[in-house]
A and B are shown apart, each in its own frame.
Chain A
Amino acid sequence: MVNDLSLDTINALAALILLADFMLVASSRMRSLTRIFALQSLAMGGLAAVVAFETGVGHIYVVAVLSIALKAVVIPRFIDYTADKIQVNREVEPLVKIPGSLLICAAITMLAYFVTEPIMELGTAITSNCLAISFATVLIGMFMMVSRRKAITEVVGLLVVENGVFLAAVSTTYSMPMVVELGVFFDIFVGVIIMGVFAFRINRTFETVDSTVLRRLKD
């Protein structure tokens, strides 16, 4: 049976991930955005490690290590580096103001609990609570992408969505087969680098990374 301490740790870490979602939406500075994302990934990695310990499924440890190494260290550094290089202004410049954004995110979270209720019972017992949080994380990440101006905040939003997907994988299926897991990490990593390259090119061409300038193509 599941150890109570582990279960509490898992729930606490899941709550931390949800808290990080709200902090991301509430932060107005680029720097804090990447730091909170790193924190969220750290919580994600920790959660995976506890699940690995509890279930004895060895390769979840790999997920945990990769999640921490890539998403909590390498990718946030890379984003900071790109942001410095293109001298992006430090403000996030939300299209939806922060208080409004927080309200929307609260609504999203409730919606996530509501829609996952029918499948929560089907999920594995120890982490069923995580499923709702993973849905909320996916949706909040998407909301970040549409409501923030800068190309780089769109990339952070995408990474938050991916954290949500990973939480779902770890909590409902104890992660995926090893080869898939590695491939997914590889794709995310390459994806972030390519997006960085294009953010750089956009900056050079438009002299801004404000993605609202990307409005020329239309019908």
Chain B
Amino acid sequence: MIEIALISPAVLAIICLLLGRHTRAIEAISVAGAGSLLVSGSYLAFRTFDEGAIDEGIWFMDQFSGLMMFIIVLIGFLAVVYSVPYMRQEMATGEVGKRKVSYYYGFLFLFMLTMVMVVVSDNLGMVWIAVEATTLVSAFLVGFHNKATSLEATWKYLIICSIGISLALLGTIFVYASSLPVLGEGSDLHWTSLMAVAGQLDPAFLKIGFVLVLIGYGTKAGLAPMHTWLPDAHSQSPSPVSALLSGVLLNCAMYAVLRYHILLTHSPLGGGFSSGMLLLFGMLSLGVAAAFIITQKDYKRLLAYSSIEHIGIIAIGFGFGGFWGVFGGLLHMLNHSLTKALLFFGAGNVLQKYGTKNISEVRGVGRTMPFTAALLLLGALAITGSPPFSIFISEIMVLAAGIGQGSFLPVIIYSGILVVVFAAFMGHVVRMIFGEPPPGIEKGEISRSGLLPMVALAAAIMIMGLYIPGLLGDALKELIGLFGGME
């Protein structure tokens, strides 16, 4: 059953690459295919939420994988829908040719395939292979425009993430080593079999293994100070790809870290060590992101730094732990990807209209593109944690977790930084939306169909801000036990 979610993007990628110059056919197949992927992925997620884990040997999905799967297929589908008008506009301005469009859709599906593989592989080695594959595949998407700046971003992305990921491989080896005395030669590096003997794993190997895994996958997740590739790659990619990178890929890397965190929580080492590390890196990311958000001049980089901030918040959530920390962290993964995708789509519209990424050169979006401006403003309010949007809820949960743990210093820093980021981020966005548009910018939206996925996302974050669907809430509550949050 799980194979369907792996085979269909592979098939779609091949079709897109083969169709070549038949752009219309590629668009139709991509949208329909991403739609069917959304249906099958959501069904798998629903099954894990409803009935619990699905174990099919090398493929394994519990509620955590289910949540990730849902994020991948949902944002993936919306990114494909948004890509159609976005790529048409790029073709109209002569930025890209027909042949390149087929590569674009093909690699988009391959990218989704590798991300799905990350969350459904039971074997931690396979998880590593899949994470490395996401880098290799998405490098082509990051370097899509083939300009000097995008090549630079791609090179940094490839080199920094590959080096990070080789540390994660070293970490994986040490975690494997920790299981050998218990499982012997029969140890298969499956997460489920490691969990079954978690109480007997060797703590010394686990400890060094976790540190390496956290640094390795943390590089990919954009945790500071290993985040340096992220603002470049996320700002140079085409906007729909930025949405996938920020909203989905970072979560997938975080997912990999958290699988090890769960393992450590159940090991003789206890969860204290790994949650302490998560808290430390989360705080660092929050601080670094805030500094760059305040001084930012490029709005796509602004969004990229905001992603570092939110990955930091997620790490802090799991670092605090407990019921609210884990619940808030998991919910924040979903909320952040929905909101960030909305913002990157909006930024894509602004970029195509104004032809610049400089905040100072963009004025009066409210006049030129009123719908985009409204959705952007809404997204900006949501991402900075204003009520009644969903991110507000998860940020409050993380805060409550910190207070519950009695870790007041982190709580004070956390809330202080959130306030600063709110002011800085809104300042940038407000300046872009209001004022007189520069001369020569025509009125009118880039496309109507590009607004649809944005409206859908805006509706989702508003609804999620008011109430959490029962099924999702129950599934997340079941996961809390896994993270040791019930004690």
Contacts and interface: CB of A to CB of B under 8 A. Distances in A.
Interface of A: 57, 118-119, 122-123, 138, 142, 145, 151, 154, 158, 161-162, 164-165, 168-169, 172-173, 176-177, 179-180, 183-184, 186-187, 190-191, 194-195, 198, 201-202, 205-206, 211, 214-217, 219
Interface residues of B, number: 54
Interface in B156-191: 156, 158-159, 162-163, 166-167, 169-170, 172-174, 176-177, 180, 185, 187-189
8 contacts: A119-B174, A119-B208, A122-B204, A138-B166, A142-B163, A145-B163, A176-B173, A179-B58
- Report whether over half of chain A's contact residues are helix, strand or loop; otherwise say mixed: helix
Nearest to B127: A180
Contacts of B236: 217
Contacts of B204: 118-119, 122
Contact of A206 (B148, B172, B205): B148
B136 interface: yes
A176 B151 contact: no
A23 B338 CA distance: 50
A137 B153 CA distance: 27
Given A145-B163, A179-B126, A190 B188 contact: no
Question: How would you classify the secondary structure of chain B's contact residues: helix, strand, loop or mixed?
Answer: helix
A172 B180 CA distance: 10
Choose among A119, A158, A217 the residue with the greatest number of B CB atoms under 10 Å from its CB.
Answer: A217
A183 B156 CA distance: 23
A169 B162 contact: no
A198 B189 CA distance: 34
A145 B154 CA distance: 16
Contacts of B188: 177
Interface in B122-146: 123, 125-126, 128-129, 132-133, 135-136, 139-140, 143, 146
A184 B128 contact: yes
B125 A177 contact: yes
Contacts of B176: 173, 176
A201 B173 contact: no
Interface in B48-82: 58
Contacts of B449: none
B178 to A, nearest CB: 9
Interface in B206-247: 208, 231-232, 235-236
Given A151-B155, A191-B162, A217-B152, A173 B128 contact: no
7 closest residue pairs by CB, A with B: A180-B125, A183-B129, A214-B152, A187-B132, A217-B232, A173-B177, A169-B173
B149 interface: yes
Contacts of A219: 231, 292, 295-297, 301
A63 to B, nearest CB: 13
B395 interface: no
Contacts of A142: 163
Interface string B279-305: 000000000000010011100010000
B202 interface: yes
A145 B205 CA distance: 27
Given A179-B125, A198-B139, 12 more contacts: A138-B167, A164-B170, A165-B169, A172-B173, A177-B125, A177-B189, A179-B126, A194-B139, A194-B158, A202-B152, A206-B148, A219-B297
